[in-house]
């Protein structure tokens, strides 16, 4: 049987459908498919001894941002070292397509640190490049609403005219037909924040017609969490949409921690009403995003290039510092941590709180924005550990790292530890909560595949992709922290993508 590549023996199989573990063997074909998963009566190909450990389908990170970083780092070390073989990318409204002359320059600035020429235009030309570069994990990108809107109307604050709205719908339909699993929004970022509910509903109708999913970074995850969730569900009902993913579901800020019950009730009642609302979460209590989210008032409507331009003027710098001091309490800055920046002078301070880096954290923030608004990212504390546990317990919660594919070194910038630890920490936390191994693995494999319509993976089943992970459930431990964010997790013995072993611990 010369088409056989691997014969994996002596393993406990957890199939990704909620069942298991059971003893079994797996045969992998030379073209990267699963030939059989169960008892085996033949023995040929290269034998791999699983040493009595657990063999599971490749883990699916449903919320990543590796869109460009994976091209600069095709080995995807941060992902494959935690067993992630597929990432749903294009999240929070930010995708690498469609590109037009209206958004290309902005995205080149945003991704400048990766030195990747943005030479494609559509979903299919972008995916083709990922294939040529042999990027792992396999990226399945959503179409991002911010990129989509900017492709037709740029980044300015404006209402779309009829022709622009129509062009946007056509571009979305084209991406969906080429294989994008859905649309993502980031409704607190420019220019998504300028969209009316009507604009979103029109796009949702395109999704509904194609049977695809809407994944949303809500307009507010804190003070207006319930209103934002309510509006999303209202739009979904009006558009007749059936699948919604709430990205990095959380209650941000202690004043909003009590809102979890109501938010979960709203989701549960939508689910009872026939809408498949699902959520993802990174198992950490510090968020991370661009530092520019701290901007107050009209500053918050500027895109990165406009922020940097405006802050070349020292008068404007002083004015922004004054506004920031007014709008944020002094202790706020103790909760803001610099994670990465292109500003050379502060590279060695990454991982520290702004108050640890400078005597005047406000001026520091202004300086970082002036020099690198596009590339400076910060972490913000303010989530509840107890709510995190409760969110992870929801049977429709999946792992979403919100992180990038990165190498072990810091050549492409430093990460939030979630980029290297989410999947392993997610599994470990579930097992510690006495969720069965079958169920825990399902949440990171079968459930994400079902949710995002990936029919060729997520299960140990004949003919599916041989995306496999051999892991030791007793040894699972994420080890990355803010001081050493690129430390790989323990417990992942090897990771196989499409029949090729891409990582060994
Ligand atoms: Zn987001």
On whether residue 230 sits in a domain, the answer given is: yes
221 and 251 fall within a common domain: yes
Tell me the CA–centroid distance for residue 77 and ligand 1, in Å: 22
390 and 377 fall within a common domain: no
248 and 339 fall within a common domain: no
pLDDT digits (tens, 9 = 90+) for 348-403: 999 999 999 999 999 999 999 999 998 899 999 989 999 999 999 999 999 999 99
Quick check: 167 pLDDT over 90?
yes
Say how many domains are in the chain. Answer: 3
Tell me the CA–centroid distance for residue 447 and ligand 1, in Å: 20
On whether residue 66 sits in a domain, the answer given is: yes
For 226-348, strand residue ranges (E) read 243-246, 276-281, 286-290, 336-340
Quick check: 1 pLDDT over 50?
no
474 and 377 fall within a common domain: no
Tell me the CA–centroid distance for residue 217 and ligand 1, in Å: 5
184 and 255 fall within a common domain: yes
On whether residue 213 sits in a domain, the answer given is: yes
Tell me the CA–centroid distance for residue 152 and ligand 1, in Å: 22
Backbone angles phi, psi at 356, to 5 degrees: -85, -20
Tell me the CA–centroid distance for residue 293 and ligand 1, in Å: 12
On whether residue 420 sits in a domain, the answer given is: no
pLDDT digits (tens, 9 = 90+) for 6-50: 999 999 999 999 998 999 999 999 999 999 888 776 777 899 999
On whether the CB atoms of residues 58 and 446 are closer than 8 A, the answer is no
- Give the pLDDT of residue 398: 98
Tell me the CA–centroid distance for residue 64 and ligand 1, in Å: 9
What number is the average pLDDT over the span 464-468?
Answer: 97
pLDDT digits (tens, 9 = 90+) for 151-165: 999 999 999 999 999
- Write down the mean pLDDT value for the chain: 95
> Domain end: 336, 359, 381, which one?
381
- Give the pLDDT of residue 326: 93
276 and 190 fall within a common domain: yes
- Give the pLDDT of residue 41: 67
- Rounded Cα gap, residues 144 and 189, in angstroms: 12
On whether residue 451 sits in a domain, the answer given is: no
- Rounded Cα gap, residues 37 and 435, in angstroms: 24
Residue 194 maps to which CATH number?
Answer: 3.20.20.140
On whether residue 448 sits in a domain, the answer given is: no
Tell me the CA–centroid distance for residue 30 and ligand 1, in Å: 38
For ligand 1, a single-atom ion, the residues with CB < 5 A are 92, 217
On whether residue 109 sits in a domain, the answer given is: yes
- Rounded Cα gap, residues 114 and 133, in angstroms: 15
On whether residue 450 sits in a domain, the answer given is: no
pLDDT band at 3 (very low <50, low <70, confident <90, very high): low
> Domain end: 326, 358, 381, which one?
381
Residue 469 maps to which CATH number?
Answer: 2.30.40.10
102 and 167 fall within a common domain: yes
Q: pTM value?
A: 0.94
Tell me the CA–centroid distance for residue 446 and ligand 1, in Å: 23
- Give the pLDDT of residue 304: 87
220 and 145 fall within a common domain: yes
| b (16+ CB within 10 A) / e for 220-232 | bbbeebbebbebb
167 and 247 fall within a common domain: yes
Backbone angles phi, psi at 207, to 5 degrees: -60, -45
121 and 248 fall within a common domain: yes
Tell me the CA–centroid distance for residue 99 and ligand 1, in Å: 20
Domain ranges, residue 316:
289-381
> Which tokens belong to 242?
């059936």
324 and 361 fall within a common domain: yes
50 and 63 fall within a common domain: no
pLDDT band at 2 (very low <50, low <70, confident <90, very high): very low
């Amino acid at each position: 049987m010369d088409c056989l590549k691997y014969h994996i023996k002596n393993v406990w199989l957890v199939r990704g459908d909620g069942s298991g573990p059971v003893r079994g063997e797996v045969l992998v074909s030379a073209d990267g498919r699963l030939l059989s998963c169960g008892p085996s009566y033949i023995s040929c190909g290269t034998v791999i001894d699983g040493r009595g450990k657990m063999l599971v389908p490749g883990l699916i990170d449903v919320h990543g941002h590796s869109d460009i970083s994976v091209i600069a780092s095709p080995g995807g070390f941060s992902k494959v070292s935690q067993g992630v073989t597929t990432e749903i990318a294009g999240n929070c409204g930010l995708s690498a397509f469609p590109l037009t002359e209206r958004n290309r320059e902005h995205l080149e600035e945003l991704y400048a640190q990766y030195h990747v020429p943005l030479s494609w235009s559509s979903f299919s030309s972008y995916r083709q490049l990922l294939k040529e570069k042999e990027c792992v994990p396999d990226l399945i990108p959503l179409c991002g609403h911010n990129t989509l809107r900017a492709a037709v109307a740029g980044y300015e604050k404006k209402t779309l005219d009829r022709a622009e709205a129509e062009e946007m719908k056509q571009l979305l339909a084209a991406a969906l037909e080429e294989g994008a699993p859905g649309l993502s929004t980031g409704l607190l970022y420019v220019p998504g924040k300028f969209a009316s509910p009507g604009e979103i509903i029109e796009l949702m109708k395109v999704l509904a017609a194609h049977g695809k999913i809407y994944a949303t970074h809500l307009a507010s995850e804190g003070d207006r969490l319930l209103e934002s969730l309510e509006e999303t569900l209202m739009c979904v009902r009006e558009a007749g949409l059936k699948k919604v993913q709430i990205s990095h579901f959380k209650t941000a800020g202690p004043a909003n921690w009590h809102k979890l019950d109501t938010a979960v009730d709203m989701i549960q009642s939508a689910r009872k009403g026939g809408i498949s609302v699902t959520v993802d979460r990174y198992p950490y209590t510090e968020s991370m995003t661009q530092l520019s989210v701290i901007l107050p008032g009209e500053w918050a409507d500027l895109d990165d290039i406009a922020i940097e331009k405006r802050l070349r003027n020292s008068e404007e710098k002083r004015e922004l510092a004054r506004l920031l001091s007014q709008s944020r309490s002094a202790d706020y800055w103790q909760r803001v941590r610099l994670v990465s920046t292109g500003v050379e002078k502060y590279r060695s301070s990454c991982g520290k709180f702004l108050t640890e880096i400078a005597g005047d954290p406000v001026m520091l923030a202004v300086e970082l924005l002036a020099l690198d608004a596009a590339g400076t990212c910060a972490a913000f504390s303010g989530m509840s550990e107890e709510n995190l546990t409760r969110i992870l317990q929801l049977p429709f919660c999946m792992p979403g790292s919100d992180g990038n594919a990165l190498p072990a070194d810091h050549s492409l910038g430093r990460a939030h530890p979630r980029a290297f630890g989410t999947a392993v920490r997610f599994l470990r936390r579930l097992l510690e909560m006495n969720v069965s191994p079958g169920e825990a693995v399902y949440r990171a494999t079968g459930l994400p595949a079902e949710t995002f319509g990936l029919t060729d993976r997520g299960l140990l089943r004949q003919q599916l992709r041989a995306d496999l992970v051999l892991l030791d459930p007793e040894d699972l431990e994420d080890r990355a922290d803010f001081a050493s964010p690129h430390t790989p997790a323990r417990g992942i013995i090897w990771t196989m993508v499409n029949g090729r072993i891409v990582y060994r611990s």
